[in-house]
């Protein structure tokens, strides 16, 4: 169990370092590739949470680490899409051009995720088990809502 917690802490630290790198001005191909890494980290965090919930004896410390990662990544998400990191980079991606052409709608969807993920993290950190599943559903719904508009299903 301690190894799992340590690995989760290391993963969050790496994610924070990568988020800081994006904020420091990565652009183009590097930003597109880093963005993909961050989304995979968020997906892995969600999978880890669901795996914990299915286990019959979820480790709350693991869940807390994963919700913190999701909330932190959600906060940084808008910075992962600099102007020159779209399909024109040649990087194979699922992000649709509308991310860059309808910035207001994308910002609104990102904000919805930030709110939902922050709430999920707050609920997990406080140990409010009765509120956890609704908060997890709201976070998943925010992800899905953005994907429906800004993400293609099968990249070329």
pLDDT score of 85: 95
Query: Structure tokens of 119?
Result: 């709430």
Average pLDDT for 41-58: 96
Domain residue extents for the chain: 2-78+87-150
Q: Which of 58, 44, 42, 69 is nearest to 129 (CA)?
A: 58
140 pLDDT above the threshold of 70: yes
pLDDT score of 153: 83
Label residue 3 by pLDDT band (50, 70, 90): low
Summarised one tens digit per residue, pLDDT across range 99-129 is 999 999 999 999 999 999 999 999 999 999 9
* pTM listed for this prediction: 0.82
pLDDT mean across residues, the chain: 88
Q: Find out whether 67 and 120 touch, Cβ atoms under 8 Å.
A: yes
According to CATH, the superfamily of the domain at 2-78+87-150 is Cytochrome c/b562 (1.20.120.10)
| Range with the poorest average pLDDT among 16-20, 37-41, 48-52, 85-89 | 16-20
Pairwise CA distance, residues 28 & 102, whole Å: 19
CA 76, 97, 102, 46 torsion-angle sign: negative
Other Cβ atoms within 10 Å of 42 Cβ, number? 22
């Amino acid at each position: 169990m301690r190894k799992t917690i340590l690995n989760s802490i290391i993963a969050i630290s790496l994610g924070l370092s990568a988020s800081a790198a994006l904020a420091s001005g990565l652009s183009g191909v590097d930003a597109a590739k880093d963005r993909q890494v961050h989304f995979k980290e968020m997906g892995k965090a969600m999978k880890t949470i669901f795996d914990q919930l299915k286990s019959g004896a979820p480790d709350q410390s693991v869940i807390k680490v994963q919700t913190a990662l999701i909330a932190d990544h959600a906060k940084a998400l808008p910075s992962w899409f600099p102007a020159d990191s779209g399909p024109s980079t040649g990087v194979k991606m699922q992000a649709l051009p509308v991310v860059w052409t309808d910035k207001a709608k994308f910002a609104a969807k990102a904000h919805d995720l930030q709110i939902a993920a922050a709430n999920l993290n707050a609920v997990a950190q406080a140990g409010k088990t009765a509120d956890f599943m609704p908060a997890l559903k709201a976070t998943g719904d925010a992800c899905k809502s953005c994907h429906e508009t800004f993400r293609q299903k099968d990249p070329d």
